[in-house]
Amino acid sequence: MKDKRNHLLIQYSGFAVQLTVGILMAVYAGDWLDKRFNFKFPLFLLLFSFTVMIGMMIKLFKDTSNK
């Protein structure tokens, strides 16, 4: 039982790191593109951030669904 909890802890902490890094990369890239094209509205920042969030939620649902 303890091994299963440790496995889940490692799995979810890895997911948290992937989510954090993905969002940080999306925000950096989106902000850079918005500044490069002189957009007043943060179009790329929002687009990339939401894309990463949706992708990670799909990954979470697939990883936690009953197989």
- pTM of the shown model: 0.81
pLDDT in tens, the chain (67 residues): 677 778 778 888 989 999 999 999 999 999 999 999 999 999 999 999 999 999 999 998 988 886 5
What's the chain's length in residues? Answer: 67
What pLDDT sits at residue 66?
66
What pLDDT sits at residue 50?
96
CB 26 within 8 A of CB 55: no
Counting Cα atoms < 13 Å in the Cβ hemisphere of 23 gives 10
What pLDDT sits at residue 10?
86
CB 53 within 8 A of CB 15: no
What pLDDT sits at residue 4?
74
